Structure 1
Amino acid sequence: MKALSIDQPGALSFTALPWRPAGSGEIGIRIAYIGYCGSDLNSYRGKNPLVQYPRVPGHEISGVIETIGADVPEHFHVGQQVCVLPYFNCGTCNACRMGRPNACKHNETLGVQREGALTEFIAVPHGKVIPVDGLALRDLALIEPLAVGFHAVRRAEVAEGERVVVLGCGVIGLGAVLGAVTRGARVIAVDLAASKLAQAKALGAEDVIDASQIDVGDAVRALTGDDGPQVVIEAVGAEQTFTQSIDIVASCGRVVYVGYAKNPVTYETRFFLMKEIDIRGSRGAQLADFGDVITALKQRPEIGDLVVSRVAPFSEAADAMRAWDADPGAFTKILIDMRGAV
């Protein structure tokens, strides 16, 4: 099978993988579209400590069921459009026993700790396969990254009428914007790029702040008064925004980190106590988050056109990665169309 491989930091090549048919309990999926994730970009840049090279990337998956192995439930059938829950948990650690497999201590994600789906065909356990009807095949590749933002909103326990600040409007931040809006929150979106702020506004953000032009703290206070926002969701992964989240959140508010800073962060820890804030992490997504995103995309089918920056054929997959690396702010979501890879 044709595939794209990250051979080492900064080096991509088109390669071939052996065909592996669907075994017992598995479903074989013909890949239609693959979305590039920030983890893929970090792998290409040599900044993903979880990756061993060479690695085929890709865990934002859209495809069609092509084969079905033995002992698979009858509601699956050949020709179904599907997305994939790309996280493989151990099932035995404390997080798994608590029903939170996304936080598994031994998790392996497609395209990170194990070979990804930027290839023609994959076989995965049927429990990882989610049939989706009523959506464009292209948009199935958006479900996983948007679900990560929805999961951050779930972790924040966002309630109707609350003021929520989302720092960073990449696709995960936009997922957080959309997820908070669907819960009836009043969202303030913050980014450095006017184009991404326009996307956040189109998704329902009540206010936007261009952090390249004005002070974020002053702007948030102008919009929320002395109270501040009840929730801050950090989707940048930078030292400045990690501490900024603590500075701007309301007393007794909640801060959720869905990005992570590459370097150590120094805090004024007195604010943790004085404000009595909750600080929470958010990792990946759960099946329920996938369901919520599917519902949102069906209600608003224009979201795909809003979020997708570029659809590249498989033959241009390496060029698309290099273009993203050269100018990451120019893209919200790059999809690779695998249908012409044969």
Structure 2
Amino acid sequence: MKAMHITQPGQAQLTDLPEPVAGAGEVVIALAYVGYCGSDLTSYRGLNPLVSYPRVPGHEISGTIAALGEGVTGLAVGQAVTVLPYFNCGSCRACRSGRPNACPSNQTMGVQREGAMTGLVVVPASKVIAVDGMALRDLALVEPSAVGFHAVRRAELVAGETVVVLGCGMIGLGVLMGALRVGARVFAVDLSDAKLAVARQLGAHEVINAQGDLKAAIAALTGEGPDVVVEAVGAEATFLEAIDLVATAGRVVYIGYAKAPIAYETKYFITKELDIRGSRNALRADFDDVIAYLGAHPGAGELIVSRVVGLKDAPAALEDWHANPGEFTKILVDLRD
């Protein structure tokens, strides 16, 4: 079967792989759509410290069950599914405390292990989530949206609070939808008017282009500042902005990570008595929340997906995203052929 490999930084090409066979407790999934994640882009750029080459990317997965391994119950051939693409050790402190997403030994498909940018993939049955009544295209949006929903969970955001979302890429839009789900008031910030338009259509209460005086704009809307700021860019400027913008006694949640060390004015951590939290990957509960939300908002996928390409055009699409990152929110690869 054909697969797409990132062979080294700046190079992606189609290769041939043997078709996988399910072992005991495993499931063969025929891929329908797989989304490009920001981690795939950083891998392509040679900036992902967690990846080795060559690597088949892809962990934003939709497909149908093609075969069941021995002993698998509760699933059936032909069911539409998505996949929880994180593999944890099961015994460390994080795993024991119900936070397997933070496992130090985590391996994510397409990053530390082979991904799903191919025709068939085999995963443990425990990682398979069957979903009825959702378009296969939208199933590929569940994982990246869940990363945003998890950040909302980490923020402990509640109805009536205000949240500033820095970055309206796919993860930021996941934060937006997760915040709307709990009844928060959401202010979306980005440099791209096109991405802000998508955020507005998805329900953001206010959208702000960060090229202006962002602090003044946020102050005009919130007075003392937002209750929560979620950083979904992964840049030095936005890491520092989050601390500056948030209200005294507020919460800051970081999803992205900057590619170099950052120097903070640490007195603000103390004088504003801030809660500063990291957010990594997602939990099964976040997946379930996203599935319910997207099921109730079937038009969201149409707004989010920027381009759909076939596997033969997947390398070129990755290069296009690399060259023009502001033009794309979500690129999906259609693998059904």
Tell me the TM-score normalised to structure 2 length. 0.99
1:307 alignment partner, one of 294, 304, 308: 304
**1:218 aligns to 2:216 (yes or no):** yes
1:87-145 deviation digits (Å, cap 9, x = unpaired): 00000111011110000000000000011100110111001000011111111100000
Taking the aligned partners of 2:302 and 2:309, their CA distance within structure 1 comes to 15
Q: Give the Cα separation in 2 of the matches to 1:146 and 1:339.
A: 23
Q: Distance in 1 between matches of 2:144 and 2:272?
A: 32
SS of equivalent residue, structure 1 residue 339: coil
Corresponding position: 1:256 with 2:253: yes
Compute the displacement of 1:70 (Å).
1.1
1:169-201, CA deviations, whole angstroms, 9 ceiling, x for partnerless residues? 000000001100110000010000011111111
Structure 2 residue aligned with 1:157: 156
Q: Does 1:84 align with 2:83?
A: yes
2:59 is the alignment partner of 1:59: yes
Instruction: Report what 1:104 is aligned to.
Output: 103
- The letter for the 1-side match of 2:189 is V
Map Cα deviations across residues 227-269 of structure 1 (whole Å, 9 max, x no partner).
Answer: 2100000001011111111111111110000011111111111
Match of 1:275 among 272, 276, 282: 272
1:40 correspondence with 2:40: yes
Q: Which residue of 1 aligns with 2:26?
A: 26
Please give the alpha-carbon distance, in whole angstroms, between the structure 1 residues aligned to 2:312 and 2:141. 21
Alpha-carbon shift at residue 19 of structure 1 (Å): 1.9
Determine the C-alpha separation between the residues in 2 that align with 1:228 and 1:35: 35
Work out which of the residue numbers 305, 308, 314 in structure 2 matches 1:317: 314
TM-score, normalised by the number of residues in structure 1: 0.98
CA deviation after TM superposition for structure 1 residue 71, in Å: 1.3
CA offset at residue 270 of structure 1? 0.7
Residue 329 of structure 2 corresponds to residue 328 of structure 1: no
Query: 1:314: Cα distance to partner?
Result: 1.0
CA distance in structure 2 between the aligned counterparts of 1:101 and 1:120, rounded to whole angstroms: 28
Q: How many residues align?
A: 337
Give the match for residue 2 of structure 2: 2
Report the residue type matching 2:4 in the other structure: L
Q: How many Å separate the matches in 2 of 1:181 and 1:87?
A: 26
**1:45 aligned partner, one-letter code:** R
Mapped pair 1:245 → 2:242: yes
1:70 aligned counterpart, secondary structure:
coil
Secondary structure of the structure 1 residue equivalent to 2:336: helix
CA distance in structure 1 between the aligned counterparts of 2:181 and 2:54, rounded to whole angstroms = 40
Residue in 1 that maps onto 2:207:
208
Take 1:49 and 1:265, find their aligned partners in 2: how far apart are those partners?
Answer: 17
Q: For 1:271-309, what per-residue CA distance to the aligned partner results, in whole angstroms no more than 9, with x for missing partners? A: 111111100000000100001110111111000100000
Q: Which runs of 5+ in 2 are unaligned?
A: none
Report the AA paired with residue 38 of structure 2: G
Partner-residue secondary structure (3-state), 1:138: helix
Cα RMSD (Å) of the superposition? Answer: 0.7
